[in-house]
Chain A
Amino acid sequence: MLAFFLRKLIWAIATLAVASVLVFAALEIVPGDPAEVMLGINATDDAIAALRESLGLNKPVLERYISWLGGMLVGDFGQSYTYSVSVRELVADRITISLPLALLSLLISTLIAIPVGLYAAAKRGSLADTGIMALTQIGIAIPNFWFALLLVYFLAIWLQLVPAGGFPGWDAGFWVALKSLLLPSLSLALPQAAILSRVTRSALLETMGEDYIRTARAKGLSRRATLWHHALRNALIPVLTILGLQFAYLLAGTIIIENVFYLPGLGRLVFQAISLRDLIVVESVVMMLVATIIIINLVVDLAYLWVDPRLRNRSP
């Protein structure tokens, strides 16, 4: 079990290392001088030289990569050129919105999808199942940001039930802040829930056709009991895989959704940084998001251990 975990951990670290090289390299291939790109065409030569110096662009590539990586490991992401504050402060501030948003969406989507998938599988072929499947088929086709626009239009503009956007900050109180994250996370979660419930249903139906389900029935278990005790846990294996992939989508999705709801999260930050050509910020935010995705996938791998005993040891 420990060996499995260690192997996964080492791979996760290796993946992170490769990803960091990719992100770093992207900045290296900026056509022309990054300092010039960041300052625009009207900058003076002196300003460019000063920025080059402060970015450390005059040092060799390897040295810069190592100091960048080393800095990130101790939480030093460098200095934002446009905001004149450390990137760390900037990011720390914004991630308190983006990460809760992504996690809340994942939670909502799972809480909806697994019961719905179970129900549809249990009632296979019924009217309810057909209805649910039709609904999820449409749900998959809906882009989350459009769904967000519709929610804003109906719930905020028409019915005025919730604020249309903005974020009061966690200081305004946990529930108040959470309420303003509700619509954004719903609009992220529902289209994902559609996919997840379909996966859950089909995984369940597939396991229901396995030999061991027949064994369980021959033991005298009811159809319902076999579904709960024997099919569900086996069906969780593909569901977990999809969950891991979905988190990446959700995290990327927050970037878009924050724009719909005017939430001052990492997404807004990154687009402002792009338009201001603040490459350091872009680089840091992308790296942070990639790292989060890799860590979540590591967690998913550990969840496999819990679900599937075949991974725990392999002694015959």
Chain B
Amino acid sequence: MLEIEDLSLQIGTTPILDRVSLSVEPGQILGIVGESGSGKSLTALSAMQLLPEGSSASGSIRFDGRELLNADDVEMQALRGDDLAMIFQEPMTALNPVHSIGDQIAEGITLHTGSDRGQARQLAADMMQRVGLPVDQFPLSRFPHELSGGQRQRVMIAMACALRPKVLIADEPTTALDVTLQAQILHLLRELVEENDMGLVLISHDLAVVAEMTDELVVMRDGIIVDRGPTGTVLRTIEHPYTARLAKASTHIPVRNKPPVLSETSRQQGTAPLVSGRSLVREYRTRRQSLFRAGKPFRAVNNVNIDIYPGQTMGLVGESGCGKSTLARLILALDVPTAGTIEFDGTNLTAASEEQLQIARKNIQVVFQDPFASFNPRHKVERLVAEPLFLEPDITPEQKRDRVVGSLEEVGLSASALEKYPHQFSGGQRQRLAIARALITRPALIVADEPVSALDVSIRAQVLDLLAELRERLGLAYLFISHDLSVVRALCDEVMVMEAGEIVERGIVSEIFDNPRSEAAIQLVNATPDLARALENRQTEN
């Protein structure tokens, strides 16, 4: 149906794609998997002829026998949204905020079928029903801002599938969503493929997702297809070294030489917890409901008890908005709890003097998710990494520099980095810099808020190794926040599952994930794509 042959692409003078060939048939799901910069999204945009300005493509893209590469605008417009449709990664920005969702779905219908407004809206309503947004709850007059991310992605799917396209291209459709929503959306897509005998091109960075979803698979790297074949075969035999690397990295588990630190054992041994939060509550005021009525306070963190022992790696998982980041901010003393106490090493932080706070701050450092946003772009590495040393005012410039170099070496960087700016480093290196900055005060605890979520799998594995190694060498404790259960399983000793501000389940990682009891944990575990499980299921299918 859609056939790409020897597609090469340049943007300006930069080569992006090199002789890419792939095809998808009706009712088939083709996966394109690769790390960032592999050219998987631009392959899709080539098929839609929606490439950025200054691109030049060669080769051939045939759709239903017609050549698209030199098709004119009118021809492409007739095709787009009718027989060939596409959905995108970011549901929050992909819908026009000033038009109602009904109008946005109906727009394409009227455009392609020439049907009147009434008919188009009727079809739009039917589609909404189909994607799980019944119109009695989600009237067509709703605007995008009144819907959640998952609901918006459903609207996108309704829009793309309203005219039963022959091929749908989905570019990372679930990357911005929580795992439970991801599972729902993927399920919906699979159903639509079967119902409409539609071809689906699913682009993803996640091997587990494509392993669960696709029939055929191509693996891309640096604009080249390096591996291809039926998904089961490709992922089971793993012949190509790059595919092997990807698979290994996405299931990578760092070595743990010392035994895990468990709360139960520590308590029995009489070790005092490093950080101990009791009955923590954090409320936020919400928008006033009217001039005279204040909004109901929103409890982001509700009655949470937390203990982290020296050397322990504590995982914290939950869906976005469940309060994990707020809890982290409370422990970092960036935010003050509405009720409850936090003790660090026996000092009550909520009632501490600035001096006592400084000691605690030296001992609790932080690593954030986005390595691009965590550094002031105008400062050099020496100053950036030294920032927490502000807590030790007596230090001389020489000592400061030595400490920075020491820290850089701990994370595998060298003194040559001192004079560079953050933008001169790759994402993975920047995350190492962030860890170096956290290490410089010799902390006892590092709060890591989704530290590897923004990284490609191979880099992710390296950073996880580094975190594991530092933990053993320096006796660090981690509060490791993630929405990705596989990473938590790989690194953490114990885990807490959070839902709607409360901790609903806690315990040893393997026990919780193999045998979840709370509703939230069960949902999380079931929704998380798992490469091994997916391949197992395939085995039984075949």
Complex Cα–Cα for A310 and B97 (A): 7
Of A6, A216, A218, the residue contacting B291 (CB under 8 A) is A6
Complex Cα–Cα for A218 and B99 (A): 17
List, in ascending order, chain B residues with CB within 8 A of A219's CB. 80-81, 85, 107-108, 111, 159
Complex Cα–Cα for A230 and B99 (A): 8
List, in ascending order, chain A residues with CB within 8 A of B100's CB. 309
Contact (A308, B88) CB under 8 Å given A217-B50, A218-B80, A229-B107: no
By CB atoms of chain B within 10 A, which of A6, A215, A222, A234 has the most?
A: A215
Among the 9-residue stretches B143-151, B177-185, B362-370, B466-474, the one with 4 or more Cβ atoms under 8 Å from chain A is: B143-151
Interface residues of A in 213-236 (CB under 8 A from B): 214-223, 229-230, 233-234
Interface residues of A in 255-269 (CB under 8 A from B): none
List, in ascending order, chain A residues with CB within 8 A of B287's CB. 314
Contact (A214, B111) CB under 8 Å given A219-B81, A220-B80, A220-B81: no
Interface size class of A (residues with CB under 8 A): 20 to 34
Are A215 and B88 within 8 A (Cβ)? yes
Binary contact track B55-85/A, C-beta < 8 Å → 1, others 0:
0000000000000000001100111111001
List, in ascending order, chain A residues with CB within 8 A of B73's CB. 222-223
List, in ascending order, chain A residues with CB within 8 A of B94's CB. 211-212, 214-215
- B: residues with CB less than 8 A from A are 48, 50, 73-74, 77-82, 85-86, 88, 90, 93-100, 107-108, 111-112, 143, 145-146, 148, 156, 159-160, 287, 290-291
Complex Cα–Cα for A241 and B143 (A): 23
Complex Cα–Cα for A221 and B90 (A): 20
A316 at the interface (CB under 8 A from B): yes
7 contacts between A and B (CB under 8 A): A218-B50, A219-B80, A220-B79, A220-B81, A307-B98, A308-B98, A316-B148
Contact (A310, B143) CB under 8 Å given A220-B80, A220-B82, A230-B96: yes
Are B143 and A309 within 8 A (Cβ)? yes
List, in ascending order, chain A residues with CB within 8 A of B80's CB. 217-220
Contact (A214, B98) CB under 8 Å given A229-B107, A309-B145: no
Closest to B98 in A: A233
Contact (A215, B107) CB under 8 Å given A220-B81, A221-B77, A314-B287: no
Interface residues of A in 5-62 (CB under 8 A from B): 6-7
List, in ascending order, chain B residues with CB within 8 A of A310's CB. 97, 143, 145
Are A212 and B93 within 8 A (Cβ)? yes
Q: How far is the CB of B44 from chain A (nearest CB, A)?
A: 10
Q: How far is the CB of A221 from chain B (nearest CB, A)?
A: 7
User: Which applies to chain A's interface (DSSP): helix, strand, loop or mixed?
Assistant: helix
By CB atoms of chain B within 10 A, which of A217, A219, A314 has the most?
A: A219
Are A211 and B93 within 8 A (Cβ)? yes
By CB atoms of chain B within 10 A, which of A215, A218, A233, A315 has the most?
A: A218
A63 at the interface (CB under 8 A from B): no
Q: How far is the CB of A183 from chain B (nearest CB, A)?
A: 38
- A: residues with CB less than 8 A from B are 3, 6-7, 210-212, 214-223, 229-230, 233-234, 307-310, 313-316
Are A309 and B97 within 8 A (Cβ)? yes
Closest to B162 in A: A219
List, in ascending order, chain B residues with CB within 8 A of A223's CB. 73
List, in ascending order, chain B residues with CB within 8 A of A3's CB. 290-291
List, in ascending order, chain A residues with CB within 8 A of B98's CB. 233-234, 307-309
Are A220 and B96 within 8 A (Cβ)? no
Closest to A225 in B: B111
Extra contacts, 10 of them, besides A218-B48, A220-B79 (Cβ < 8 A), are A218-B81, A218-B86, A219-B85, A220-B77, A220-B111, A221-B77, A234-B96, A234-B98, A308-B97, A309-B97
List, in ascending order, chain B residues with CB within 8 A of A218's CB. 48, 50, 80-81, 85-86, 88, 160
List, in ascending order, chain B residues with CB within 8 A of A216's CB. 96, 107
List, in ascending order, chain A residues with CB within 8 A of B156's CB. 215
Closest to B109 in A: A219
Are B291 and A215 within 8 A (Cβ)? no
Q: How far is the CB of B430 from chain A (nearest CB, A)?
A: 26
Complex Cα–Cα for A219 and B168 (A): 12
